[in-house]
Amino acid sequence: MEKLIKTIEEKLYSYVPNIDTLEKKVFDSMKYSLSAGGKRIRPILTAYFCELNGGTLEQSLPFGCALEMIHTYSLVHDDLPCMDNDDLRRGKPSNHIVFGEDTALLAGDALQSLAFEVLSDSKTRDLVGDTACIKAVNCLAKRIGAVGMVGGQVIDLEYENKSADVTILRTMDDKKTGALISAACELGCIAANADDKAINDAVRYAKALGLAFQVVDDILDITADEKELGKHTGSDKENNKSTYVSLYGVEECKKLVSQLTEEAIGCVYGESESAQKLRELALSLAQRNK
């Protein structure tokens, strides 16, 4: 896994060159957040699903990097004062604290564009073909747009100061976190030119994994060590936010995570190396402490 993360990060950084032109500041801002660490779960999922469907790691990399760019843009915009107003991200000052709100806003915008640039550049087209590239663009654009990731953020804002029931919470998380995790799994399949059945299985895996991921996040906001987690804890409670923990309690949530993890594992067939890794990944995400 560590070797895979290193390969992903090398490729990721290669898309943001060191420049010394008038736009230097926005490149620095983009690089700052892209290289701020993180679990790189999305490109890892893309790589595993690509291999599961007979593709290569190399074919998955541009798609995986595009997903990480989108994930990063969403964090940069999320931390802005007009959104969550978070000064700290992954244990480091947030992008707008270092570069200013205006540059952080623009760096987020440019990261979104860069993701689509990478999905469509000539090297990516040569690797996976034009049809796979255009399918990937469409899948990603839908998953992150107003009915996907951004839609989830809008629902989140709407329910900031009023209590949400489980149906609303699930709809919100399905979009806010689930949509991009789904895109990661789908883009792995698309890079390998997999059929619809494989894509459907990947989406089911992603939905269970994504929800488990969010429930674990809610648990960690209550139970984790702030230093280890790299961000403030207890913020959900402070903000009177409805979470799985506030609705079910920590113990029930742990059961839900186990159940969802089993569900995810059940969507991956065969004994190939990538199948095993996908099952292990679901387990390790359920047991994470940061």
Closest contact distance (angstroms) between CB of 120 and a second copy is 4
- In the bound state with a second copy, the residue whose beta carbon lies nearer, of 150 and 247, is 150
Bridge partners of 89, per DSSP, are 92
Closest contact distance (angstroms) between CB of 114 and a second copy is 6
Closest contact distance (angstroms) between CB of 121 and a second copy is 6
- In the bound state with a second copy, the residue whose beta carbon lies nearer, of 118 and 212, is 118
Closest contact distance (angstroms) between CB of 109 and a second copy is 5
- In the bound state with a second copy, the residue whose beta carbon lies nearer, of 107 and 264, is 107
- Across 47-84, b (16+ Cβ under 10 Å) vs e yields bbbbbbbebebebbbbbbbbbbbbbbbbbbbbbbeeeb
Contact positions vs a second copy (CB under 8 A): 22-23, 25-27, 30, 73, 77, 80-83, 101-103, 105-110, 112-114, 116-117, 119-122, 125, 130-131, 133-135, 137-138, 140-142, 144-148, 150-151, 153-155, 157-158, 168, 171-172, 175
- In the bound state with a second copy, the residue whose beta carbon lies nearer, of 155 and 220, is 155
Closest contact distance (angstroms) between CB of 56 and a second copy is 20
Alpha helices by DSSP H, the chain: 2-14, 24-34, 41-52, 57-79, 95-99, 101-120, 122-128, 130-144, 149-158, 166-176, 178-191, 196-223, 226-229, 235-238, 244-248, 250-265, 273-286
- In the bound state with a second copy, the residue whose beta carbon lies nearer, of 163 and 223, is 163
Residues 6 or more apart whose CB falls under 8 angstroms from that of 139 comprise 183, 186, 187, 190
Q: What whole-number distance in Å separates Cα of residue 90 and Cα of residue 93?
A: 8
